[in-house]
């Protein structure tokens, strides 16, 4: 089994556990692949070297509540990070503190739709946290 497939299986397991138990609290973290880092720099001039992607149980439940049918896409995040076609930088306000938060939006196009994945970018910590993920037709 390839590394990408192992990682996707680990994330799918986290999704299942997070959805089956509302008190379950865990996360999967992984370094971004060289392919993702190179593409982000070469095509969009965004430096994400040494960044870690984190997917937490709470974020999974948020996506389930907000974008019910799209929760199954979470398992494919490593694939979407490698195969994205567009990367946008955005600034949003934190709902609790009101402070600006820099986020990155990775977009992967499929035949009939696009998948948008928003990752908040905490640059000092070099962590990309999953904010939301959804399909756009």
pLDDT at residue 28 greater than cutoff 90: yes
Q: Show the domain range for 90.
A: 3-136
Among 93, 82, 75, 85, CA closest to 133: 75
Q: How high is the pLDDT of residue 31?
A: 95
Contact 91, 102 (CB under 8 A): yes
As a whole number of angstroms, the distance between CA 51 and CA 5 comes to: 20
Q: Which residues does residue 88 pair with via DSSP β-bridges, in sequence order?
A: 105
Percent of the chain whose predicted confidence (pLDDT) is above 70: 98
| C-alpha gyration radius of the chain | 14
The pair of structure tokens assigned to 133 is: 């993920």
As a whole number of angstroms, the distance between CA 95 and CA 112 comes to: 32
The whole-number average pLDDT for the span 97-111 is 87
DSSP state of 32: P
Average pLDDT, the chain: 90
**Total structural domains in the chain?**
1
Q: How high is the pLDDT of residue 1?
A: 57
Confidence tier at 59 by pLDDT (50, 70, 90)? very high
pLDDT at residue 74 greater than cutoff 70: yes
């Amino acid at each position: 089994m390839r590394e990408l497939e192992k990682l996707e299986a680990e994330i799918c397991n986290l999704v299942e556990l997070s959805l089956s138990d509302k008190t379950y609290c865990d996360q999967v973290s992984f370094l971004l692949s060289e392919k993702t880092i190179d593409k982000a720099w070469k095509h969009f001039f965004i430096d994400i070297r040494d960044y870690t992607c984190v997917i937490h149980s709470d974020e999974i439940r948020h996506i389930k509540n907000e974008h019910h049918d799209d929760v199954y896409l979470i398992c494919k995040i490593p694939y979407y990070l490698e195969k994205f076609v567009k990367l946008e930088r955005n600034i949003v306000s934190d709902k609790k503190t009101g402070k600006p938060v820099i986020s990155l939006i990775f977009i992967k196009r499929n035949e009939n739709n696009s998948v948008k994945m928003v990752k908040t970018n905490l640059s000092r910590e070099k962590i990309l946290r999953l904010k939301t993920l959804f399909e756009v037709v």
